[in-house]
Structure 1
Amino acid sequence: MRVRCPSCGRPYDSIVPPTCSCGEPLRLSYDYDSVDVSRWERRVPGVWRYRELLPDVKRIVSLSEGGTPLLRAKLGEELGLRVFIKDETRNPTGSFRDRLITVAVSYGLPYARKGFIVASNGNAAASLAAYASRAGKPAYTVVPKLIEEGKLNQIVALGAKLVRYGESVDEGIGYAEELAEREGLYNVTPESNIIGLEGQKTLAFELWEELKPTHIVVPTGSGSNLYSIYRGLAELRRIGVLEEMPELIAVQTERCSPIASEVLGLEPRAEPTRALALYVKDPVMKELALEAIRETGGTAVVVGEDELDLGQRLLAGEGIFGEYASAVIIPAFLKLAEEGHFERDDRIALVVTSSGLKGHYHETREKFTLGGTKLEILRLLSGRRMYGYEIWEALRKPVRYQAVYQHLRELESLGLIGESHREGRRVYYRLTEKGRKFLETLSE
């Protein structure tokens, strides 16, 4: 590994900041000419399989992260597309951040005199708690006031110290940097530690080995994962094994879309979203994320708050329980598919970044029950076959037209309704036998 400022030439060989003292962004480089990818095949799957393209460390602190499953999506088969789900919930602490933390902690051990610190909206904090515990070092986590209950439980259970600061993770990054300098802590915050980001790029290496995708759909908050994947792809191209860059597609929610809005030419918003892991108001890595999208010919998608439940439920239909911030990939994929963005021979990878077990458990139980509007739709269809606009007009409560189609998709994913026939552009729906039995059960 080499780190030298491309502007002033200053070398770095210990703690490497994101930018040089002269203000130039720093990037790591390796001896790419000596990399032999055939060696990877003889090693155990995981982050450290790719050690030629990772920082040198004296001691690896690992919990067997990486090497996560790649599953063929049933949803893609229904649409006639080759779609695969990269399930990062199978990492040791349930998120993709384990890739970053194993590298950051392993490298940072000699400099973590009094322990480690991270500013995080949850996943990196839980990961640091686990890996610092494994390394026998204290962990300090700066987390915002808006954070999922499950992540807090995980952080505390793994023995980390909690510092609540600000509403979103943006506000805690500078505070964590101050604490690190003042207290002698090694800072593994993704936006402050380019060493750790090297771990996240291994997701790109795995996708290349397993699939060689043409498109990669990535939930995007700070932009660090999107950029890390791009960096991994760029290195594969540098060593001569990747000819064409896959298209990187960033997904954000309509309430917090500082990166996607710039790509799509929309008015940016920075408000709290139910997909809390994507609530990053002013992402430090925005420009790097935009570079990743631009250099791969990619795009972005904005997902509505009313589509999050649908995404989570359809993802559950694949056997994966992802948090809201991961579930955004499903409605994003469906939107792109409807717009004809994909060709039939494309290989599309959807990245599920974190487990739904980290969320609000009481909300989860309520979310997977059937509410009033859906029941009313089922009762309407029990009488006759109807199309979406007709159902919207027949409902006896104020509801947005677009929301009706969300309800229809969810009911269809549950197998309670199905497509009856089409007349022009109109899609008529019918109650299935399962849906009829469900209504009969309710009336008993």
Structure 2
Amino acid sequence: MSQATLESEEAAARSMDLLRFATAGSVDDGKSTLIGRLLYDTKSLFSDQLEAVEAVSAARGDEYTNLALLTDGLRAEREQGITIDVAYRYFATPRRKFIIADTPGHIQYTRNMVTGASTADLALILVDARKGLVEQSRRHAFLTSLLRVPHLVLCVNKMDLVDWDREVYEKIADEFTSFAAKLDAPDLTVIPISALEGDNIASRSEKSPWYEGPSLLHHLEHVHIASDRNLVDVRFPVQYVIRPQSTVVTDYRGYAGQVASGVLKPGDDVMVLPSGMTSKISAIDTADGPVDEAFPPMSVTVRLADEIDISRGDMICRPNNAPAVAQDVEAMVCWMDETAPLRVGAKYTIKHTTRTARAVVRGLQYRLDVNTLHRDETAPQLGLNEIGRVKLRTTIPLLADEYRRNRTTGGFILIDEATNRTVGAGMIIEAQ
């Protein structure tokens, strides 16, 4: 293979679209098996990985190769046959690259599910065809809508165990569609599958002639995600100021970071927050050289025409389209700490984009029951895996948007100051 061909293939691979998706659903609905099947059918496994799983399955006397072992890597997961932590797996097809987050189904690991779904473009919610919708199915559907995951796929799994009964499938599909109508779920697709046997996973199955939709892999390859990104509001949180200590390059000053939203181009008028100083973009650099434009989620270095005092935590935006500069924030918070609950008056470190501050809990407006969507306005605290609307006051202003408008500048985490442990994840509703 020539060097030119190799470079061309590498460039094509870099430019391929990337889809992040998370699995969700109740225990034993087949999430890990589904991911194992996707990896197997797309030939994304090394031979020794497959041989090891086949050997374990044979030793157990399993009828089928236990593909769930490809993602359940913890010893406790293999012993109990459940998923505990979030497992990330990577694969690619000629059309698209994928990052999968296999999230746990147990209620006590809801925080792990929130972690896995927080960066997802799409969520796969699995339902056992024999059991239908259960409490955890609804809980995970609500959480994905709360996290603003733009695309939902309901996989009615284990259809082979109900003899591919169309009525069973349609009953579950109708029930879930009615529930999703109460949520903010803009795009919903329902697919009948058998993860164990591979039906309707990589290709359409003859066992479901009544199903006229695409296979799961075809849908994952073709679902449109480009329009999900916010390309209107320019948000560039500065991570690092690049100032080479070199005798060769003496006048280079660049601001490195990842584009959160919007499109940046040389010549654009920009404003730096919180100072409010304005300038123009003189150049945009990447590891491969200068580019004519930058968009999310590119990591770039921006150079400005003027010498401005900019440091980590500042944000580059448009002069007439800026985020809120706010110290008072209202947000939905998912509490993740099992040792101490969130209480009014408690103080934490808040990490928002590249800015770190201290925050105090000014109020707990209500605790939300994710099963009934009931708001308990008398709740005194938030315990492990509970979600509530919280008022925070920060020591320095945050440069924030509403989470529904921008998931990057609208999200934050809370950190325990004594242990440095992440104790909460928040989605900003209002900043002022």
TM-score, normalisation: structure 1: 0.23
Pick the structure with more helix per residue: 1
Higher relative contact order (CA 8 A, sep 6+): 1
Pick the structure with more strand per residue: 2
